[in-house]
Amino acid sequence: MIYIILSIFCSVTVAVLLKLAKRYEISIVQAVSVNYFAALILCFLFFKPDISSVSVSAPWPIYIALAILLPGIFLILAASIRNMGIVKTDIAQRLSLFIPILASYFVFQENFNSLKIIGLIIGFPAIFLTFLKKPTEAKKDGSWIYPVGVFLGFGVIDVLFKQIALFKALPYTTSLFTIFCLAFIVSLIIVVALALLKKIKIQPINLVCGLILGLFNFGNILFYMKAHKALVENPSTVFAAMNLGVIVFGSLVGVIIFKEKLNKLNYIGIILALIAVIIITLSQNAVR
């Protein structure tokens, strides 16, 4: 259980760091780029990927898609936390699991049991209610688009990573290392282009913050994988504890520490989100 707790802590810490970035005027695009550099180094040290086994037969279209999506969605994640807060963004990220579930039904022809259908039915109102603002606030901006981007983006990323997991010719960790390398290259190109256009200024503080961000981002992945290995016969336990833990812990941090304001409908959305995750977790072990 310690691995699940550490993974939850790392996940919420990433959100906290992105929340603090605005206060301390940290360049998110620079931090995200360095984050992937840190992640690929840590991936190399901990997973010892067999780089020589990567060949032209590898699923390069998926690798490239993820290399573009990962830094892009990371920037949207930062914008969502900045504009909508940790609570709503964490819930958007966690409920993005609905997209791979729907993909498994419509694309991969997986049969659904009644519990999974109920979970989805409860989950979609949860998304709507969590993002909902008062009418007077909603007219001021379109910041709701950011958590929607997080929801859709992480959902698509999850589907692509599941495709990577099905590619048995390469170890998953080797594919992960390759994706981190490509994501770093893509994000570095963006940083260099913005620097040349004088849109940003390269500063050491952004590099340091990026390393810290990368440490916790990788920690989330590492401990989540270790949790699955430690509880190999109970994957649904890891799934439930991770998603519920991030929603609850993230909500507490957002409301108590950062004083994020939620209305009654938002709280109802959070409760529905927790119920949806529990029901979907139960559906994993239900007899079809």
Residue 138 has pLDDT above 90, yes or no: no
199-229 pLDDT tens trace: 888 999 999 999 999 999 999 999 999 998 8
Angle between helix 172-196 and helix 145-166 axes, rounded to 10 deg:
140
Residue 139 has pLDDT above 70, yes or no: no
CA pair distance 89, 87, nearest whole angstrom: 6
pLDDT class for 230, splitting at 50, 70, 90? Answer: confident
Helix (H) or strand (E) holding 183, with range, is helix 172-196
**What pLDDT is attached to residue 134?**
62
Which residues does 60 contact at the CB level (< 8 Å), separation at least 6?
Answer: none
How far is residue 176 CA from its own chain's centroid?
15
Query: Which of 139, 138, 150, 142 is closest to 78 using CA atoms?
Result: 150
Residue 141 has pLDDT above 70, yes or no: no
**What pLDDT is attached to residue 127?**
83
31-43: average pLDDT: 95
- Sole residue written with tokens 């709280």: 267
Q: How many CB atoms lie within 10 A of CB 151?
A: 24
Share of the chain above pLDDT 70, in %: 94
pTM of the model: 0.90
pLDDT class for 288, splitting at 50, 70, 90? Answer: very low
43-51 contacts, C-beta under 8 A, 24 or more apart: 43/173, 43/176, 43/177, 43/180, 43/218, 44/177, 46/222, 47/173, 47/174, 47/176, 47/177, 48/173, 49/171, 49/173, 49/174, 49/176, 49/177, 49/178, 50/171, 50/174, 51/174, 51/177, 51/178
Most confident of 27-36, 105-114, 125-134, 139-148: 27-36
72-83: average pLDDT: 94
Among 36-50, 101-115, 189-203, 242-256, the range scoring the smallest mean pLDDT is 101-115
Residue 128, CB-side half-sphere exposure with 13 Å CA sphere: 6
62-87: average pLDDT: 94
CA pair distance 284, 225, nearest whole angstrom: 19
Longest dimension (CA), the chain: 59
How far is residue 168 CA from its own chain's centroid?
24
Q: How many CB atoms lie within 10 A of CB 255?
A: 17
- Angstrom CA distances, 280 to 91, 97, 194, 244, 284, stand at 15, 10, 43, 12, 7
- Sole residue written with tokens 């709503």: 88
Q: How many CB atoms lie within 10 A of CB 157?
A: 19
Q: How much is the mean pLDDT over the chain?
A: 89
pLDDT class for 287, splitting at 50, 70, 90? Answer: very low
Tokens standing for 113? 């049991």
Residue 30 has pLDDT above 90, yes or no: yes
142-199 pLDDT tens trace: 688 999 999 999 999 999 998 998 888 899 999 999 999 999 999 999 999 999 998 8
